[in-house]
């Protein structure tokens, strides 16, 4: 079970953290992620959960698209305001390169040329869409740059995924948002702490999100405001897949059945398979 914890420092800095080991392991299993794929996807899932928890309504929804020129291809992650997240990645088995310092080279695998796009659907006529260029492909820096430039929101982001062979050993992230009323001296002290937040993949080893927040921000005037459960959950259903099959057109659908005996649609986000035989297909098009 993964828990997200939020706190407030001196009424002027919002700190949130989330522990995501189980969520990353679920993603590894669904997508058969290579180690570097697990790091990139895990960091993005972690950040999307932290961002989703900022929504006022549980039904609000965000989509993050990281589209770099590296071998992993496009990463798409969706999260709602109720602590659910899911993700898809173009090339989950991209080869893992280890840097001289022993870290996996996530930046090269994602690619340093490309964009980070955030689409927020909060029930308005048009969704909000913000885009910024990737700065390092390491994900956390890319999000920090996005917030500063696209949402004019100064914040700190640190994300980590630690692996033990092909399994996630520990994972999590910390998101620090500075409100406009934050005094300069407090901002300086918070920044100093953020710079020192290293090796995030180890911080969540046998530690909860609250432990991590207190470890770094315990010296401040900190109030823990919320704990909530978060999970990897897909919202695909038969009705949505019906629409996909219908979009093929009757002729194409029948041609697939003639060739393969049935139509099989696999959800990119959770791997669930939906099948349609001739009878089910006829029913769909006769509607």
Least distance in Å: CB of 25 to Zn ion?
17
Number of separate helices (H) and strands (E) present in the chain: 10, 12
Least distance in Å: CB of 84 to Zn ion?
12
Least distance in Å: CB of 76 to Zn ion?
13
Least distance in Å: CB of 208 to Zn ion?
29
Residue 79 in the binding site for Zn ion (CB under 5 A)? no
The smaller minimum CB distance to Zn ion, of residues 72 and 236, is found at: 236
Residue 269 in the binding site for Zn ion (CB under 5 A)? yes
What's the token pair of residue 234?
């897909």
Least distance in Å: CB of 220 to Zn ion?
41
SS3 27: helix
For residue 158, list its beta bridge partners: 174
The Cα-based distances of 84 to 51, 78, 188, 267 in angstroms read 11, 8, 34, 16
Least distance in Å: CB of 235 to Zn ion?
7
The contacts of residue 83 (CB under 8 Å, 6+ apart) are 4, 49, 52, 53, 228, 229, 230, 231
- Selected range binding Zn ion among 4-12, 175-183, 206-214, 266-274, rule: CB under 5 A: 266-274
The smaller minimum CB distance to Zn ion, of residues 200 and 234, is found at: 234
The smaller minimum CB distance to Zn ion, of residues 15 and 65, is found at: 65
| Position among 71, 156, 267, 276 found at the interface with Zn ion (CB under 5 A) | 267
For residue 84, list its beta bridge partners: 231
Q: Which of 79, 62, 106 is nearest to 23 (CA)?
A: 79
Q: Any idea which residue has 């009757």 for tokens? A: 250
For residue 117, list its beta bridge partners: 65, 131
The smaller minimum CB distance to Zn ion, of residues 24 and 267, is found at: 267
Residue 241's region, left for phi above 0, alpha for psi from -120 to 50, else beta, is alpha
The smaller minimum CB distance to Zn ion, of residues 146 and 269, is found at: 269
224-253 footprint of Zn ion as x/- string (CB under 5 A): ----------x-x-----------------
- Selected range binding Zn ion among 1-9, 66-74, 133-141, 265-273, rule: CB under 5 A: 265-273
Residue 30 in the binding site for Zn ion (CB under 5 A)? no
**Burial annotation 258-277 (CB, 10 A radius, 16+ → b, else e):** eeeeebebebbbbeeebebe
Other Cβ atoms closer than 10 A to 193 = 17
Least distance in Å: CB of 80 to Zn ion?
14
The smaller minimum CB distance to Zn ion, of residues 143 and 269, is found at: 269
Least distance in Å: CB of 214 to Zn ion?
36
The smaller minimum CB distance to Zn ion, of residues 71 and 87, is found at: 87
| Position among 116, 270, 276, 281 found at the interface with Zn ion (CB under 5 A) | 270
Q: Any idea which residue has 């770094």 for tokens? A: 216
Query: Which residues of this chain interact with Zn ion, rule CB under 5 A?
Result: 234, 236, 267, 269-270, 272
């Amino acid at each position: 079970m993964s828990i997200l914890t939020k706190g407030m420092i001196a009424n002027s800095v919002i700190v949130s953290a989330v522990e995501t080991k189980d969520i990353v392991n679920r993603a590894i299993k669904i997508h058969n992620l290579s180690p570097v794929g697990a790091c990139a996807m895990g960091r993005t899932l972690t950040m999307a959960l932290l961002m989703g928890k900022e929504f006022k309504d549980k039904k609000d929804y965000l989509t993050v698209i990281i589209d770099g020129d590296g071998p992993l291809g496009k990463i798409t992650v969706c999260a709602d305001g109720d602590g659910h997240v899911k993700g898809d990645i173009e090339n989950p088995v991209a080869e893992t390169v280890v840097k001289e310092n022993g870290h996996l080279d996530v930046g090269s695998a994602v690619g340093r040329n490309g964009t980070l796009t955030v689409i927020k659907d909060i029930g308005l006529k048009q969704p909000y869409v913000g885009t910024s260029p990737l700065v390092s492909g390491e994900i956390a820096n890319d999000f920090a740059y996005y917030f500063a430039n696209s949402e004019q929101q100064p914040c700190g982001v640190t994300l980590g995924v630690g692996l033990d062979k092909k399994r996630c050993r520990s994972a999590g992230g910390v998101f620090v948002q500075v409100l406009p009323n934050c005094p300069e001296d407090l901002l300086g002290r918070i920044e100093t702490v953020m710079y020192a937040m290293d090796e995030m993949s180890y911080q969540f080893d046998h530690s909860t999100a609250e432990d991590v927040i207190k470890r770094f921000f315990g010296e401040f005037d900190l109030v823990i405001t919320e704990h909530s459960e978060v999970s990897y959950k897909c919202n695909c259903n038969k009705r949505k897949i019906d629409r996909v099959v219908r979009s093929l057109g009757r002729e194409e659908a029948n041609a697939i059945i003639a060739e393969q005996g049935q139509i099989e649609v696999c959800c990119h986000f959770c791997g669930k398979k939906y099948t349609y035989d001739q009878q089910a297909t006829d029913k769909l098009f006769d509607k």
